[in-house]
């Protein structure tokens, strides 16, 4: 594989984390315009851990995830009781606050005679973990996809558990869920924390892959794209958002002749898609039918033997 393909695939992998993060909230019925804030916080926290304090990358990622999840839960506790559009706008306000604070933040320490750390609008340069350890892009891509697989497994386990049912219940009718004796606010905060943590993983990886991050990357466009990916791919399964990301980044990168008209084509396609499939390609009904089809086939196979 050449560098270009690896970069595109790695980008798909890293953006998938924020798409999954927005997806998890969509499943619980909340629309967040602000998941890019946790992606950014994860990137800055993990970058600071490895570049400024010389910690190993697994500690950096843990710190990134922890910071993002913690902030997401605090913000969730403040805003989730609002519900609906009020929550969406407050996530937008919070994410822009984070971005604008990072634009002014200058916290630098001296490492090996050089100043390292967030430098306001210039961004956070020299997150050189990959170069110092002599790790190739392909190897890093492997790390990205291993973590992505891990997140998908966790989400699949959640989906099968009671927690998953509660999340889906909150999404379809939270009033009914509350009448069943479910503490909806607590579960929503939990979902917000998990979503923040997932976005934080993506951010931690992104900081180390590109070796530098700037606040401008975590603008609202990233957050709304993340939201759109879930809705394009489908809200029925965690693979939905991945399909959305692959369609946007993979397909449109590959088709060169629509360059420059990319958003005109993509926008039109998605708008038409949403008319016929308002909850995405793999929505709940289709996932349910696919599962039924697979399990019938399996049973037919065992009987045949």
Partner 1 sequence: MIDFVQNTVDGIMFGSSYALLAIGFTIVFGVMRRLNLAFGATIMLGAYAGTWLHVHYQVNVLVIALTTLACTVLAGIYVERLCFRAVRRDAALASMVSSFVIWMQLEEVAVHLLPERTYPFPSLFVAGSFEIGPFLFRAEQITMLLLAVVMVGALHLLLHRTRYGLALRAMSENPQAAGYMGIHTEWVMLCAFALVSLVGGVAGYAILATDEQITPYFGLWATFKGLIAMMLGGMGSLPGAIVGGLVLGMVEAHSQWYLGNEYKDLSAYVLLFAMLVLRPGGFMGQRILSREELAFRRV
* Residue from the set 126, 178, 253, 284 that interacts with partner 1 by CB under 8 A: 178
Determine, following the binding rule CB under 8 A, whether residue 82 of this chain makes contact with partner 1. Answer: yes
For 212, the token pair is 């530098």
Instruction: For residue 266, state whether it binds partner 1 (rule: CB under 8 A).
Output: yes
- Residue 32 Cβ, how far from partner 1 at the closest point, in Å? 12
Q: Which of 263, 290, 292, 297 binds partner 1 (CB under 8 A)?
A: 263
Answer yes or no whether residue 227 interacts with partner 1 by CB under 8 A. Answer: yes
x-marked contacts with partner 1 along 51-80 as a string, rule CB under 8 A: ---------------------------xx-
Applying CB under 8 A, the span of 52-60, 101-109, 136-144, 284-292 interacting with partner 1 comes to 101-109
| Residue 112 tokens, joined | 């090996």
Residues lying near partner 1 in the complex (CB under 8 A) are found at: 26, 31, 78-79, 82, 85-86, 88-90, 92-94, 96-97, 100-101, 103-104, 175, 178-179, 224, 227-228, 231-232, 260-264, 266-268, 270-271, 274-275, 278-279
């Amino acid at each position: 594989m050449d560098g270009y393909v690896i970069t595109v695939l790695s980008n798909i992998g890293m953006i998938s984390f924020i798409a999954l993060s927005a997806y998890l909230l969509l499943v619980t019925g909340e629309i967040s315009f602000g998941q890019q804030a946790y992606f950014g916080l994860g990137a800055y926290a993990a970058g600071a851990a490895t570049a400024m304090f010389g910690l190993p990358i697994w500690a950096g990622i843990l710190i990134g995830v922890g910071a993002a999840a913690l902030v997401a839960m605090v913000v969730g506790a403040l805003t989730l009781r609002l519900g609906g559009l009020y929550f969406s706008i407050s996530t937008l306000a919070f994410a822009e606050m984070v971005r604008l604070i990072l634009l002014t933040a200058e916290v630098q320490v001296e490492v090996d005679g050089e100043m390292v750390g967030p430098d306001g609008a210039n961004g956070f340069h020299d997150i050189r973990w990959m170069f110092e350890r002599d790790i190739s892009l392909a190897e890093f891509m492997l790390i990205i996809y291993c973590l992505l697989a891990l997140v998908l497994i966790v989400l699949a386990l959640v989906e099968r558990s009671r927690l998953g049912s509660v999340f889906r219940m909150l999404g379809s009718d939270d009033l009914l869920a509350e009448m069943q004796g479910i503490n909806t606010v607590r579960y929503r905060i939990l979902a917000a924390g998990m979503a923040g943590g997932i976005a934080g993983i993506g951010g931690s990886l992104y900081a180390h892959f590109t070796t530098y991050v700037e606040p401008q990357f975590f603008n609202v466009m990233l957050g709304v794209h993340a939201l759109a990916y879930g809705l394009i791919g489908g809200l029925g399964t965690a693979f939905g958002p991945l399909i959305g990301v692959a369609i946007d980044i993979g397909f449109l990168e590959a088709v060169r002749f629509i360059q420059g008209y990319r958003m005109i084509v993509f926008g039109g396609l998605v708008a038409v898609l949403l008319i016929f499939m308002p909850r995405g390609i793999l929505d709940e009904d289709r996932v349910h039918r696919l599962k039924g089809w697979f399990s019938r086939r399996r049973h037919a196979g065992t009987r045949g033997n």
